[in-house]
Amino acid sequence: MIFNLTPPRKPDGAWSEKIVRAFTGSGGEGGVPFDGLILDGATGDFYGSTRDGGNATGSGTVFRLRP
């Protein structure tokens, strides 16, 4: 799961979390992300991979996250 954290507005407040991507493994989407993300220093994009889903054999995907 990829999520965005927003700091509290007050020093004693709670952080808020927003889910950006859930990786369900169905409908051509990858599932079960693993390992870390790789940063493309030239573009600022992140790349990662999943173990499941993505195609007919369910052998995983490579994904790009643009901040």
Do the domain assignments include residue 3?
A: no
Buried/exposed code over 47-58 (b: 16+ C-beta within 10 A; e: otherwise): ebbbbbbbeeee
Do the domain assignments include residue 54?
A: yes
Alpha-carbon span 33 to 41, nearest angstrom: 21
Do the domain assignments include residue 8?
A: no
Q: Check pLDDT > 90 for residue 15.
A: yes
Residue 10: band (very low, low, confident or very high) from pLDDT cuts 50, 70, 90: very high
Number of domains composing the chain: 1
Do the domain assignments include residue 44?
A: yes
Do the domain assignments include residue 7?
A: no
Q: What percent of the chain has pLDDT over 90?
A: 49
Do the domain assignments include residue 42?
A: yes
**Domain containing residue 49:** 32-67
The secondary structure of residue 64, as a DSSP letter, is: E
Q: Check pLDDT > 90 for residue 59.
A: no
Please give the pLDDT value at position 56: 81
Average pLDDT over residues 9-22: 94
- Name the token pair of 13: 């407040």
Contact 53, 61 (CB under 8 A): yes
Do the domain assignments include residue 38?
A: yes
